[in-house]
Structure 1
């Protein structure tokens, strides 16, 4: 199973790409060393720093035909990777 699940491409994460900071959804059991090796191997860049956090899943509620349904989105682990000076990752080159 791959350590990197997908890159995060929301507005805030994309604005940090100019500074060489990229965000990824990663496997919950992965540590910083494994994440660093996976990014370096997959994208061919040098990683300076890795920061991780667990994003708690939000509760979601909705009404359907007189019923109230409450649920919860899944939690996930997020890694924020800082690359060496002058290096970039191009997510959109293969499109």
Structure 2
């Protein structure tokens, strides 16, 4: 799998921003078929940083209810927490 197909998008939330500032961990939504080695190589190639560790979480689809009935489901996805080497940084909104 090519490294541009591995990482789909970064997760930009309050929790992920705090993790990035405090621990140097960056969160990405990744391709469900990608493994830890492919994710680490893709992050190193795309952002020119050194990756120390990758933790992967598979998020299950959630049933959405309306007045007690199940109307549909959200889409399941795979999320990766990437720990960067000390001194390395990824900035998503540099000029904002």
Unaligned 5+ residue runs, structure 1?
none
1:26-65 pair list within 5 angstroms: 26-62=30-66
CA distance in 1, matches of 2:55, 2:70: 35
Instruction: Output the TM-score relative to the length of structure 1.
Output: 0.87
1:6-85 pair list within 5 angstroms: 6-18=9-21, 19-62=23-66, 70-85=71-86
Q: Aligned-pair distance for 1:94?
A: 6.1
Which of the pair is proportionally richer in helix? Answer: 2
The number of residues matched between the two structures is 91
Considering only CA atoms, is the larger Rg found in Structure 1 or Structure 2?
A: 1
Following superposition, which runs of at least 4 residues in structure 1 exceed 4 angstroms of deviation?
Answer: none
Q: Aligned-pair distance for 1:86?
A: 1.3
Unaligned 5+ residue runs, structure 2?
none
Instruction: Output the TM-score relative to the length of structure 2.
Output: 0.87
The more displaced of 29-38 and 69-78 is 69-78
CA offset digits 1:27-59 (Å, max 9, x no partner): 000000000000001111000000001001211
CA distance in 1, matches of 2:95, 2:16: 20
Q: CA RMSD in A?
A: 1.6
